[in-house]
Amino acid sequence: MSRELAFAGSWRRRPAPQQLEDRRPKTKDNFLLLTQTHCDNNSPMPFDDAPQDKSRQVLAHFNRVAARYDLMNSLLSFGLHHWWKRVAVGLLDLRPGGQVLDVCGGTGDLAVIAAQRIGPRGRAVVYDFSRAMLEAGRPKTAVLAGWGKILHVQGDALRLAFPDNCFDAVMVGFGIRNLSSMDAGFREMHRVLKPGGRMMCLEFSCPATPWFRRLYDLYSFAVMPLAGKIIAGSREAYSYLPESIRKFPLPEELSALLRSLGFTQVGYHRLTNGIAVAHVGVKERE
Ligand SMILES: C[S@@+](CC[C@H](N)C(=O)[O-])C[C@H]1O[C@@H](n2cnc3c(N)ncnc32)[C@H](O)[C@@H]1O
């Protein structure tokens, strides 16, 4: 989609290991290498539609911006993403001792919040195919990892390297939009959830109020790409971001998709006038 079109109003309507830890080859500290993903591709954004190309380009993008990812997030959201993430993890109703999976976990923000709630007997797994993103989050997660609560696993979200029914909660923050198949991503999350377990998906969306939407359009199509160029060295990557957000299903559409994939008690919570939306769903008890 061209930038003009997007701006003009395109707001649209395994076999798996047996245990979460310990049986896999460890690299160092808490890293477990389950799925190796290699990518030397540095092709420009926006991403291609062909699934394999998209995956490769998404990986190349996050490998490239990993070192500045947290800084960019905080600057571009004026720090709001910390609050969004706290509210979103709160919707999972985590209990001490819980097992939580952070799909497309990147630098581990959601896992860190979750780890504080599940306590020393619980376990949070940050799962991402970009080794660079996982590494960039190490200083944050190291504080808690000392208690053995956060594990890092490198692998593809479209083929989660875990058995069925093994997590109390599964979450994905600003990651589902990047997958070449959103349905497949949610199906995998549903598969690894225990019956009765909760899923949370935090994603950018469309502001609810028209004037705020216009302001946000201006900000995201003018300011974001410029900031991306200056801070992360990639204007294209941060032009792609607002365009991909606008292609993402609106909250009601995403809720319908989640229901069709087997989630029950589906609901959502708008944050900051709907710039971000936290979706929740439950895997039905058998
Ligand atoms: C925008 S970042 C979100 C990181 C983190 N969840 C957060 O909220 O800050 C998206 C992450 O998804 C990861 N990702 C994208 N596609 C993936 C895939 N197919 N498998 C695993 N990780 C993927 C990227 O490497 C990146 O770290």
What's the pLDDT tens digit per position in 119-149?
889 999 999 999 999 999 988 887 765 565 8
Supply the pLDDT for residue 145: 54
Pocket around ligand 1: residues whose beta carbon is below 6 Å from it?
55, 58, 62, 104-106, 109-110, 128-130, 133, 156-158, 173-175, 178-179
Pocket test residue of 33, 55, 126, 128 for ligand 1, highest count of atoms within 8 A of CB: 128
- Is residue 227's pLDDT more than 90? no
Q: How confident is the model at residue 48 (pLDDT cuts 50, 70, 90)?
A: low
Segment 205-234 mean pLDDT: 86
Considering only the C-alpha atoms of the chain, give the largest distance between any 2 of them, rounded to a whole number of Å: 54
pLDDT for residue 147: 61
Fold of 3-10+64-283: Rossmann fold (3.40.50)
Span from the CA of 226 to the centroid of ligand 1 (angstroms): 22
Mean pLDDT to the nearest integer, 159-183 = 97
Q: What are the residues whose beta carbons fall under 8 Å from the beta carbon of 22, sequence distance 6 or more?
A: none
For residue 39, how far is its CA from the centre of ligand 1 (angstroms)? 15
What is the reported pLDDT for 146?
Answer: 53
86 pLDDT tier (thresholds 50, 70, 90): very high
| 25: its two tokens | 């080859």
pLDDT exceeds cutoff 90 at 81: yes
Do the Cβ atoms of 167 and 200 come closer than 8 Å? no
Residue 46 scores a pLDDT above 70:
no
**Global pTM?**
0.84
Q: Are 245 and 220 in contact (CB under 8 A)?
A: yes
The residue type of 50 is: A
Residue 279 has pLDDT above 50, yes or no: yes
d(CA 180, ligand 1 centre) in Å: 12
Q: Provide the residue count of the chain.
A: 286
With a CB cutoff of 8 Å and minimum separation 6, the contacts of 164 are 16, 191, 192
State the burial class of residue 68 (Cβ atoms within 10 Å of its Cβ: 0-12, 13-18, 19+).
Answer: middle
Ligand 1 center to 211 CA (angstroms) = 31
Among protein residues, the one whose CA lies closest to atom 25 of ligand 1: 130
